[in-house]
Each structure stands twice: as C-alpha cells, then as structure tokens.
Amino acid sequence: MKNNTLDLFTPDDAENEDDIRGTDTSILSGVVVTDTDWTTETILSQLQKGNIQLNPRFQRRDAWNEERKSRFIESLILGLPIPQLVLAENPRQKGKYVVIDGKQRLLSLLRFAGAGDIQFPLRGLNLRKDLNGVTFSKLQVEHHDELSAFENAPIRTTIVKGWRDEEVLYLVFYRLNSGSVPLSPQELRHVLHPGPFIDFAFEFTEQSQLLVDLLGKDGKPDFRMRDVEVLIRHIAFREFGERYQGDLKKFLDETTKSLNDTWQNTEGRIRQMATQCERAIETTLTIFGDDAFSKWTPKGFESRFNRAVFDIMCFYFCEGAVARESLIRAEEIKKTFVDLCATNPAFLRAIESTTKSRASTHARFSIWGNKLSEVTNIRPAGMDHLPQ
C-alpha cells in the first residue's frame, strides 16, 4: 500500500476557497476583527476554563512531537517571535471561542502546563539545553525567572466577533497566511457542527485500520481529519447524492447537520454504510494494489491519493454483488479504469480539474458505473441515486 503523506492529496478535489467563491460580501457586515496580546498565563487560564474550545477529540490527533512542542515553549521563555492565534467568538456563547488557527500551539501549552500526568518534560532544546528534562512543575519550583518569562510572554491573538454566517469563518480560514497550518476544512466543520453523527465519523475513522493505513502517518490517524472528510463524502453521496448541486462544502455541511439532527433514526443505516465503505476500500486495494485511489496518466498511476477516485470506487464497491464479481474479474476491472483514463477525456476531466461541478460529478459516477455494469453484468443499485 502507498504511504500517502499529507502533500500527496490532489488539490482539485479537496475543499478550498472556490467553494465560497459566490459568497455575498454582505455577510461581513457587523464583523469585527481585533488584535490583542494575551499572555501565556491568560491563554492557559482560558483553556483550562474551557473558554477556548478545543474539542477533546482534537487532542487525540496531536501533530507535533514533544521536541517541536518543547521548542515552542522555549521560544516563549526566550521571547522569540511566534505566529499569531486566530479565534472566533461563539455568537451563542459570549466569551467562548473556537480556534481557527493555532490548534497545535494551544495543544502544546496544554500538554506542557496542564494538570497531572499530561505534562511532558522539555526535550531537544538547543538554546536552553539546561532546561531539557524540565517539566512545568519543576519550572514552578526551581526556575522562577523562566517561569515568569513563560507566563508573561505575549501571544498576539486575533479575535473575530460579530459573525452571523459560518461562511465568514471559512473565508478567514482560507485567507490565513500566518506561516502556520490552520485548521483543515473538516476540523472547522467539526467545530461548527458538533453532534452525534460527526462524532461517530471521527471515532470510526480513528478505529479503522484500513483508513489509518491509507491516510494516516506512522500508524496514527490523519491529524488533519482528511479520513473523516472522505468518510463523510462517501456517506453524503450515498445518502443524499441526488441533491448535490456542485457546492462541496455546503453539501458536506448540510449532510453533517442533517445526520446530526436525525441520528436517532439513521444511526443503524449510517453505521452500516461506514462498514460497507471499509469493505469497498478492501476491494479496491485488492484489485488495484499500490495503484488504488489514484489517477492513471500515460506515465502510469500517480502517487497521489485522489478523492474523486475514492468516491467512485467506494460508491459502487460497497455493494456486495458488484464487489464479488469485480474481484473475480479484477484484472479486467483495472484495465477498464486505465482505458477510461487513457481514452475518455470526459472521464479524465471528471476526476481531475473540475471535480466539484454538478456535470463532472455526475460524469465520473455515471461513466464508471456504466463500465462496471458492462464488465460485471450487474447494474449497481447506486446508479439510481447519482448526483444529477
């Protein structure tokens, strides 16, 4: 199986600023953006009181290792510049903030200065080697000057207030250029639309060894939640595919909100879909091997994970009869996909440059579905519920 690192995702089939291109700028009316210098001590207090809302699930997908966290703490102690934080005040809970940019820095503060056994000792420091092995508790007892420098270090914090439409936060997210890595669209979706369905998607992908192997790194789930996104995409197209209008972000947001609200009635069916998605991933890997979920070019299969290819493979291979017959004809199925990429310009366009339009989305699902039907002599049931 390919080792799909984070930079191996095709940008054209991912969520990006094109998804909000038609946004009416009137949504910015009343929005106030302010900059302030909060001290580390203030930020820690806000975190410990729960005023800065870091979903506990985020803390399980912590991207920085302890050396990188330690260097961040060292920068605060030494007064070195660090990137700003970007928070948005929750319009329904004044004084409560969601994180737009700075999750890893905030997690580092919590891990270092938090209570109990979550504290870690500083390590890998080059400038203050004498602090290697020092915990926050030891800093409080033995290193008073460094403690004072750490707690009083100013951290520039940008706060967005007065927003009424979450499109504002997506706009801020896409325009961020702070030199750091802001939340991914799926992380932001998790913040904006909490509920039982999105929690299920998070938990399922975290426990799915197939998805960890496919999209994670070093045996851990993807810390940017791209695995959660592709699972939600799969469920969205199966459950609401006929409603797709070409706005991917809106489609995934509405799917999340709808299934959060109806979880009591839909839980069984959605859990079954997730399990079927895993089986579809297995089928695709068996047929395509290291070339699974990639686009073919005259130079061969690309190394990148292609979400558009993932969509169509899992959409049909989740059907048991189609999967079984495709496995029997595995060599022919793979050749059929290669031939489509090589000879069908409409199909190729539909999995690369315009994947989010209604027409291209319909094309990639329908063309691949028809070819599967020809090879297997089975008409997939999903053909009756394609995006229009």
What tens digit of pLDDT does each residue of 139-196 get? 999 999 999 999 999 999 989 898 888 888 877 766 664 445 556 788 878 878 889 9
pLDDT given for residue 3 in this prediction = 44
154-161/32-39 β-pairing: antiparallel
Which stretches does DSSP call E strand in the chain?
32-39, 52-53, 85-89, 97-101, 154-161, 296-297, 300-301
Is the pLDDT reported for residue 71 higher than 90?
Answer: yes
Q: Residue 12: what pLDDT?
A: 47
- More confidently predicted of 83 and 323: 323
β-partners of residue 345 are: none
Given this model, what pLDDT does residue 22 score? 52
How is the chain split into domains, by residue range? 6-13+193-385, 32-162
Mean of the pLDDT values across residues 34-56?
89
Residues contacting 331, CB < 8 A, separation 6+: none
Instruction: Look at residues 69, 59, 191, 171 and name the one whose alpha carbon lies nearest to residue 121.
Output: 69
Task: Give the contacts of 254 (CB within 8 A, at least 6 positions apart).
Answer: 240
Write down the pLDDT at residue 4.
Answer: 45
Over residues 72-102, the pLDDT tens digits come to 999 999 999 888 898 999 888 889 998 888 8
Average pLDDT, the chain: 87
Dihedral sign for Cα atoms in the order 30, 33, 39, 40: positive
Quick one: pLDDT at residue 190?
A: 83
Amino acid identity, residue 160? V
pLDDT for the residue 164? 83
Give the residue carrying structure tokens 């600023």. Answer: 17
